[in-house]
Structure 1
Amino acid sequence: MTTVVPPCELTRKAIKWISEQHSETGKPLKSLLEEAAMRFNLSPKDMEFMERFYAENNGEAPDC
């Protein structure tokens, strides 16, 4: 049985993952955003939101 995850939950998980990866590895956010898009199957609309989200935080990954 497959569980369907709501899109907003995937976005939250992606933001948490990006924040963790950025603090642990120091990878650039652009690279992490692209990887998160593939890993969490994010839509273009979700990616636009995440790019704005990080741009508004001056490129910093906020603490989750």
Structure 2
Amino acid sequence: MPTIMPKSELVRRAFAYLQEERKHDPGKSLPSLLDEAGMRFNLTPVDAEALERLLRSEQKLN
């Protein structure tokens, strides 16, 4: 029986996944990475937007 995971945990895992993917392929576009993460972690559109905002704020800090 599959385990139901809280949405916040999915977003955290998606964020970690995106960080790793960006290390391996820094030239890959953000929209492409977000699409992959959305499908891989079954994110809702609201979760995907939150993830995008988080990534963009991280880019501003670096």
User: Shorter-chain TM-score category?
Assistant: 0.7 to 0.9
| Offset from partner CA, 1:10-61 (integer Å, 9 cap, x none) | 100000000000111222222101110011000011011111112222368x
Of 29-38 and 50-59, the range deviating more from structure 2 = 50-59
Q: Per residue, is there more helix in 1 or in 2? A: 2
* TM-score using structure 1 length: 0.81
How many residue pairs match? The answer is: 61
The structure 1 segments of at least 4 consecutive aligned residues displaced by more than 4 Å after TM superposition are none
Determine the structure 2 residue equivalent to 1:10.
Answer: 10
Unmatched 5+ residue regions in structure 2?
A: none
The alignment yields a C-alpha RMSD, in angstroms, of: 1.9
* TM-score using structure 2 length: 0.83
